[in-house]
Chain A
Amino acid sequence: MTPLLELEGLSIRLPTPSGPRAVVHEVDLAVEAGQIYGIAGESGSGKTMTMLSLLGLLPRGGSAHGGARFDGRDILGAGKKERQALRGRELSMVFQDPMTSLHPMLTVGKQLTEHARKHLGISKAEASARAAQMLEEVRIPDGEAALRAYPHEFSGGMRQRIAIAIALMCEPQVLIADEPTTALDVTVQAGILQLLDRLRREKGMAVVLITHDLGVMSSIAERISVMYAGRVIESGDARDVLKAPSHPYTRGLLGALPQPGDGAGSELKSIPGVPASPLDPPRGCAFHPRCALAVDACREAVPPLLRRGDHAAACIVTMRDVDPASKEAIA
Chain B
Amino acid sequence: MRARRQSRSHRPLVRFLLRRLGALVLLLIGITLISFLLTQAVPGDAAIANLGQHPTEESIRAFNEKYGLDDPLPVQYATYLGNLVQGDLGISQQTHQPVVDDLSVSIPATAELAIFAIVFSTIFGVAFGVLAALRRDTAVDHGLRVFTLAGISVPMFWLGLLGLYLFFFKWGLLPGGGRLDPTTTPPTDVTGLNTVDALLDGNFATFWDAFKHLILPGAVLVLYSVSLISRYTRSAVLEVLHADYVRAARAKGLSEYTVVTRYILRAALPSIVTVMGLVFANVLAGAVLVENIFNWPGIGQYAYRSAVSLDLPAIMGVSIFIALVYVIVNLIVDLLYAVIDPRVRLS
Contact = CB atoms under 8 A, between A and B. Distances in A.
Interface string B1-12: 111010001000
Contacts of B251: 55, 57, 87-88, 92-93, 95
Contacts of A150: 342-343
Nearest to A107: B342
Nearest to A93: B251
B248 interface: yes
Contacts of A327: none
Contacts of A93: 248, 251
B244 A101 contact: yes
A256 interface: no
Interface in A84-122: 84-89, 92-93, 95, 97, 100-106, 114-115, 118-119
A104 B255 contact: no
Interface in B242-259: 243-245, 247-255, 258
Nearest to A163: B248
B267 interface: yes
13 contacts: A92-B251, A93-B251, A95-B244, A95-B247, A104-B245, A118-B253, A119-B253, A141-B2, A150-B343, A153-B2, A155-B1, A158-B1, A158-B2
A115 B255 CA distance: 9
A164 interface: no
B253 A89 contact: yes
Interface of B: 1-3, 5, 9, 243-245, 247-255, 258, 262-263, 266-267, 269, 340-343, 346
B252 A115 contact: yes
Given A93-B251, A114-B254, A145-B5, A152 B343 contact: yes
Given A88-B251, A88-B254, A119-B253, A102 B2 contact: no
Nearest to A84: B253
Contact of A105 (B3, B244, B247, B340): B340
A145 B267 CA distance: 24
Contacts of A103: 245, 249, 263, 266-267
A232 interface: no
Given A105-B340, A150-B343, A155-B2, A84 B244 contact: no
Contact of B342 (A84, A114, A152): A152
B240 to A, nearest CB: 10
A93 B253 CA distance: 11
Interface residues of A, number: 36
A82 to B, nearest CB: 11
Contact of A104 (B3, B248, B252, B341): B341
A106 B254 contact: no
Nearest to B249: A103
B156 to A, nearest CB: 36
A276 interface: no
Contacts of A102: 245, 248
B254 A115 contact: yes
Nearest to B255: A84
A104 B264 CA distance: 11
Contacts of A145: 5
Contacts of A118: 253-255, 258
A87 B251 CA distance: 6
A104 B3 CA distance: 15
A170 B48 CA distance: 83
B242 to A, nearest CB: 9
- Counting chain A CB atoms within 10 Å of each CB, which of B252, B262, B343, B346 scores highest? B252
Interface string A212-247: 000000000000000000000000000000000000
A-B residue pairs, 8 tightest by C-beta? A88-B252, A87-B253, A88-B253, A115-B252, A100-B244, A150-B342, A103-B245, A101-B244
A101 B2 contact: no
A114 B252 contact: yes
Given A87-B253, A115-B252, A104 B2 contact: no
B267 A104 contact: yes
Contacts of B3: 152-155
A279 interface: no
Interface in A59-97: 84-89, 92-93, 95, 97
- Counting chain A CB atoms within 10 Å of each CB, which of B2, B269, B346 scores highest? B2
Given A95-B244, A152-B3, A158-B1, A104 B342 contact: yes
A101 B245 CA distance: 4
